[in-house]
Amino acid sequence: MSYIPPYRRQQFAESVNVSSEYRENSYSRSTEDNRRGYSIPFKSNKRYGPSTETGYRRNQGDYSNNNYDNNFSGAYSQRGPVRYYSRNGSAPWGDHFRSRLENGYKTIDLSKIWKVIKPRNSALESKLFGTLSTGINFDKYEDIPVEVEGEDCPEPIRSFEEADLAEVILENIVLAQYTKPTPVQKYSIPIITRGRDLMSCAQTGSGKTAAFLLPMLSNIWKSDPPQRPPSERPELRTQYPVGLILSPTRELAMQIHEESLKFSYRCAMRCCVLYGGSNTSLQLRDLHRGCHLLVATPGRLEDMIQRGNVDLSQIRFLVLDEADRMLDMGFEPQIRVIVEREGMPAKGIRQTMMFSATFPKDIQILAEDFLTDYVYLTVGALGSASGNITQVVHWVHEEEKRDRLLDLLDETREEGALTLIFVETKRGADILERFLCGSHYPAMSIHGDKTQPERERALLAFREGRSPVLVATAVCARGIDIPNVRHVINFDLPSEIAEYTHRIGRTGRVGNVGMATSFFNEKNINLAKDLRLKLLEQNVEVPSFLEDMAFSPRYSKSPHFRLTTSYWLKFSLITGFTNHYSRGRSNRPSGGYNRAGGGYNGGGYDNPRYRYGGRGGSSNGSWF
């Protein structure tokens, strides 16, 4: 075929009915993909220059760990038919490239690059391995009691070097400045390396993510490059991950993915992430470049499986992070579909690991459906909060909460410190955000009704300290690891004690100290007993109102229990339980919600000038 200049290629494509020859030998993705409502972005030959002999692209500046143009051996190129079609994907423009293609896809022998360790890249390193944030109590982890149940349990390791991890993974651990493993890592790493199923319960912020990532990545890397099964629909470029990590929230999925990029730095294996609410085509583009470890939220994963982009038949490792949440009523049916009906190898063939800081008994029983001959590991008391967190519970009436919050923010204000405030409802989060901004506190909010970019923006502004106060619902309660969160405030307490444990666990992480303050009132009577026990666990003095409520004869955990006003009135009369429990009540003049003056709705409550600190003025300046 003679040369066709670029400006005539489209014309050529239209005039030549792209022949069956091309359809067979290449992938005419346009029709297939368009019908599915998404487009796979084309990459020009110029941008993605030819690979070197080993299929190794010498582009080291790629944050997403994509600098290898790797793929399964004998498999399809992640770059697609770059040189075979013009930019719009419609016309062939050079027969001479066909020799490099197999079934229309460029093949790269992954076995040639699998064990090659890429050169170091300082720019990428500084992005991946920020600064470490271990705190003064990191060494105290050594004293935490650990219980291991199960037959023939492997011995714990004392150092990462003892763990039989791949050399490159050990180097990445050094770059991450992890000097020694935390207790959950000491026990989990050898258990996973030995191929055992695991149910692991360890305190918040104690390093569970690395406990499963390190042995998984090492194991994948040490094995031969995964072989791709023949596919009937090569145009879909289906990916066959070997490891799958399921997470309940998008933000947690992103965070685990970032950790996986850290520990797989300089390796040919590729880690990808799929989560809802964001651009599918971008996620697909990354996926199509190869995927050995996949981190995903259940909904988006299910969608990708249905579209044929992901196939779970090669899974060797399955992790349920925040497993008790993944197996509770909200997620369990979806998890069952993914694990039992989407072609994933059965338990016993795959290795299954579950991690959380809390594991209610009923969920443990349910979890056994997914495990075989597993080891049960508890670090510290089951479901206990970290001892690095100072817990305080105040009696605060609903109508006094805002004043008390402002007092608390003023009292605990500290340079560089972040405060996370939990509320129960999405609407409540928006209202409190507006109130705080109107009161000149640089706050943002995050909840399930915000768009994903909004959620990400809020979390980033909080992480970077541009907005040191974040109002959140349960989306931020689990797993999110943000250094410098010094104070967690339960403006509204949750209805479950497990949720309380996770929420307060956003502070006091990796040996750092933190504070958790909760506003308690008659609405939270159902939590009284469990909250009292939680405080006693950490030898915290239990406030008298909590003691009284926990032992109230009318206390009931029944879901049918309703706290009626009449009951509450009777309870108040019997126990004398009213305002006198509001110790340290606000000294703000009543009705003075807005310090900018003008009462509740005046002076900037809804004033965009005060939104998102830094843009508006401040009454005292120091928050901005």
Ligand X SMILES: Nc1ncnc2c1ncn2[C@@H]1O[C@H](COP(=O)(O)OP(=O)(O)OP(=O)(O)O)[C@@H](O)[C@H]1O
Residue ranges that bind ligand X, judged by CB under 6 A: 132, 134, 178, 181-182, 185, 202, 204-210, 357, 479, 481, 505, 509-510
> Considering beta carbons, is residue 298 or 613 the nearer one to ligand X?
298
Nearer to ligand X (CB atom), residue 181 or residue 226: 181
Backbone angles phi, psi at 55, to 5 degrees: 80, 25
CA distances for 600 relative to 62, 432, 435, 440, 624, angstroms: 49, 12, 8, 13, 22
* Cβ at position 54, least distance to ligand X in Å: 32
Backbone angles phi, psi at 245, to 5 degrees: -120, 120
> Least CB distance from residue 372 to ligand X, whole Å?
24
Smallest separation (angstroms) from ligand X to the CB of 505: 5
In whole angstroms, how close is the CB of 481 to ligand X at the nearest point?
4
In whole angstroms, how close is the CB of 471 to ligand X at the nearest point? Answer: 19
Tell me whether strands 514-520 and 389-395 are parallel, antiparallel or unpaired: parallel
d(CA 284, CA 38): 10
Task: Report the 10 Å Cβ neighbour count for 299.
Answer: 15
Place of tokens 């369990």: 332
In whole angstroms, the minimum distance from the beta carbon of 177 to ligand X comes to: 7
Alpha carbon distance 220, 576 (integer Å): 63
Q: 328 or 403, CB closer to ligand X?
A: 328
Integer angstrom CA distances of residue 387 from 419, 541, 548: 19, 14, 25
Q: How far apart are CA 310 and CA 381, in angstroms?
A: 39
Q: How far is CA 257 from the centre of its chain?
A: 8
Least distance in Å: CB of 359 to ligand X? 12
In sequence order, what E strands does 350-501 have?
A: 351-356, 375-379, 389-395, 418-422, 443-446, 469-472, 485-490
Q: State the nearest-atom distance from the C-beta of 510 to ligand X, in Å.
A: 4
CB-CB contact of 67 with 54 (8 Å): no
For the chain, how many helices (H) and strands (E)?
A: 21, 16
CB of 413 to ligand X, least distance (A): 24
Which residue has its beta carbon closest to ligand X? Answer: 207
Cβ 34 to ligand X, closest distance in Å?
Answer: 40
The full 3-state SS of 257-319, as one line of letters, equals HHHHHHHCCCCCCCEEEECCCCCHHHHHHHHCCCCCEEEECHHHHHHHHHHCCECCCCCCEEE
Residue 18's CB: how many other CB atoms inside 10 A?
A: 17
> φ and ψ at 336, to 5 degrees?
-60, -40
**Closest CA relative to residue 605, chosen from 446, 441, 436, 398:** 436
| 389/531 with CB nearer ligand X | 389
Answer yes or no: are the C-beta atoms of 479 and 249 closer than 8 Å. yes
Residue 352 · residue 372 · CB < 8 Å: yes
Nearer to ligand X, 147 or 449 (CB): 147
Residue 182 or residue 351: which is nearer to ligand X going by CB? 182
Q: What is the DSSP string of 45-69?
A: TTTSPPP-TTSB------TTS--B-
Cα within 13 Å of Cα(286), Cβ side: 21
- Interior CA angle at 132 toward 162 and 358, to 5°? 75
Dist CA 122 CA 109 (whole Å): 28
Compare residues 83 and 509 and give the one whose CB is closer to ligand X.
509
Min separation Cβ 185 and ligand X, Å: 6
Instruction: Name the residue type at position 273.
Output: V
Count of residues making up the chain: 624
Instruction: Output 164 or 548, the one with its CB closest to ligand X.
Output: 164
Q: Minimum CB separation from ligand X for residue 545, in Å?
A: 29
Closer CB to ligand X, 205 or 438, in the complex: 205
| Nearer residue to ligand X within complex by CB, 94 or 483 | 483
- Closer CB to ligand X, residue 202 or residue 293? 202
Nearer to ligand X, 159 or 495 (CB): 159
